[in-house]
Chain A
Amino acid sequence: MDNFTFGMTMLICGMGGTLLTLWVMSLIMGLLGKLFPEKPEKKEA
């Protein structure tokens, strides 16, 4: 594989893959944050 094809593939798949993976992770973690919100501690009677 020539260097140009290699470089452009790494740029597109690498940068795109990293951005996409982290974006999906942010969505999932945002969703989990909403599903499992921090509950205030109950005060003992």
Chain B
Amino acid sequence: MADAIVNGLGGLTVGFQVLVADWRNTVMILVGFVFLYLGIKKDCEPLLLVPIGFGCILANIPLSDVMSEEGFIRTIYNAGIATELFPLLIFVGIGAMTDFGPLLARPSIFLLGAAGQFGIFLTLLLALAMGFPQLDAVAIGIIGACDGPTAIYVTSKYAPHLLGAVSVAAYSYMSLVPIIQPPIMRFMTTKKERETVMKPLAKPVSKTTKLLFPLVITILGGVIAPKGLPLLGTIMLGNLMRESGVVTRLTKASENEIANVVTLFLGLCIGATMVGSAFIKAQTLIILGLAFVAICLDTVCGVLMGKLMRVATGGKVNPLIGAAGISAFPMAARVVQKEGAKWNKKSYLLMHAMGANAGGQVGSVIAAAVMLSVLAGMGIIR
């Protein structure tokens, strides 16, 4: 009987023994606490960081079976991430929430959304140069889309072992956009350029144009880059529902209930992929570094395109709006407005920046779609 009691007590202490034996789980539990602290106390992307932080703690408790074959988070992961369903459902919500009006009022701003994606491809080159396998480099490059769902979609499909690092990098750098972008914007522009006052977008957009927008983008984008059609189709479905105005219940469900439930599951699954033994590697630090470079390059290329548009329009464009050509919506647009107003109190760049930011949303999806289709064309993916 004494043996049975000792063995029974051993069962209660084995978790502590594993925790002491493998320090990586302890570190990741602390990382989970940091995420919770940032989300709860600092209000930094709490909708994501709270479930990610808690998922991270759950998965790193020794002998935790939440990610084992029959574990409850593994079940959610298999249902929504392995199948790529969750990022797509999030996209329906994003489409339902986004007003593309400022972009449609000046469609040339689409080009800023394109330039804001160049960091993806330049970072891909850097990742290859650092020795990452080709599909891993694609997953790392896609962080430069500044678009969490797109990064998760591509990574879960082609480099699932990097999902934790890529997701954390994508979301953490998105929340750091107000810190990362302003110094680059100032470095890349002259005082005169930053002080430029842009005329307000006076041209209203008709409902017909707004309704045709998601249809045209879906068909054209789908024909050019069919591998990315799920991404493009879902964001445009959400936007069509919004602009049609006849399915208010579906629109509201997409931007509230569906998006909320999926965000919870997505965060929990991402956190649970951050198991110490798989996450604490030099590779993770390199990925975080490359992600930072990707967002810097996006900003540089966006501002350069803004400068090009300034030249083409005879000085009517403030190149700062180029920095909003990324997908971090509407954060990047607010950063541009704040920076512009700092240099000229009469400058009101918000609506122009919102247009560029909406262009960045479409741009990130198109860049991912083009990337996947080029990969398929080269025979690297099916």
Interface stretch (choices B57-65, B217-225, B344-352): B217-225
Select which of A17, A22, A26, A36 is within 8 A of B208 by beta carbon. A36
* CB <8 Å contact, B374 and A14: yes
Select which of B129, B203, B370, B378 is within 8 A of A9 by beta carbon. B378
- Chain A contacts of B105 at CB under 8 A? 33
* Distance between Cα atoms of A43 and B203 in the complex (Å): 20
Interface stretch (choices B38-46, B311-319, B361-369): B361-369
* CB <8 Å contact, A33 and B209: yes
A21 in contact with B374 given A26-B107, A26-B108, A36-B209 (CB within 8 Å): no
The size bracket of the interface on A is 20 to 34
* Distance between Cα atoms of A28 and B367 in the complex (Å): 18
| B257 CB to nearest chain A CB (Å) | 31
* Distance between Cα atoms of A37 and B210 in the complex (Å): 11
Find residues 10-33 in chain A having any chain B CB closer than 8 Å to their own CB: 10-11, 13-15, 17-19, 21-30, 32-33
Select which of B129, B205, B209, B220 is within 8 A of A24 by beta carbon. B220
| B127 CB to nearest chain A CB (Å) | 9
B104 at interface (Cβ–Cβ under 8 A)?
yes
| B374 CB to nearest chain A CB (Å) | 4
Interface stretch (choices B88-96, B111-119, B278-286): B111-119
* Distance between Cα atoms of A38 and B207 in the complex (Å): 8
* CB <8 Å contact, B111 and A6: no
| A/B pair count, beta carbons within 8 Å | 120
Contact string against A for B residues 221-264, beta-carbon threshold 8 Å, 1 for contact and 0 otherwise: 10011000000000000000000000000000000000000000
* CB <8 Å contact, B108 and A30: yes
- Chain B contacts of A36 at CB under 8 A? 206, 208-209, 212
* CB <8 Å contact, B220 and A25: yes
A23 in contact with B374 given A29-B209, A29-B216, A32-B212 (CB within 8 Å): no
- Chain A contacts of B373 at CB under 8 A? 17
Give the number of chain B interface residues (Cβ < 8 Å).
49
- Chain A contacts of B216 at CB under 8 A? 25, 28-29, 32
* CB <8 Å contact, A10 and B121: yes
- Chain B contacts of A1 at CB under 8 A? 134, 378, 380
B153 at interface (Cβ–Cβ under 8 A)?
no
* CB <8 Å contact, A21 and B118: no
A14 in contact with B113 given A1-B380, A29-B216, A30-B107 (CB within 8 Å): no
23 A-B pairs with C-beta separation under 8 A: A3-B129, A6-B380, A10-B125, A10-B375, A14-B120, A14-B374, A18-B366, A21-B221, A21-B224, A21-B225, A22-B111, A22-B359, A22-B366, A25-B110, A26-B110, A28-B216, A29-B104, A29-B110, A29-B216, A30-B107, A32-B213, A32-B216, A33-B105
A-B pairs, top 9 by smallest CB distance, nearest first, are: A26-B110, A17-B370, A36-B208, A38-B204, A26-B107, A22-B114, A29-B107, A38-B206, A30-B107
B residues with CB within 8 A of A: 104-105, 107-111, 113-115, 117-118, 120-122, 124-125, 128-129, 134, 137-138, 203-206, 208-209, 212-213, 216-217, 220-221, 224-225, 359, 362-363, 366-367, 370-371, 373-375, 377-378, 380
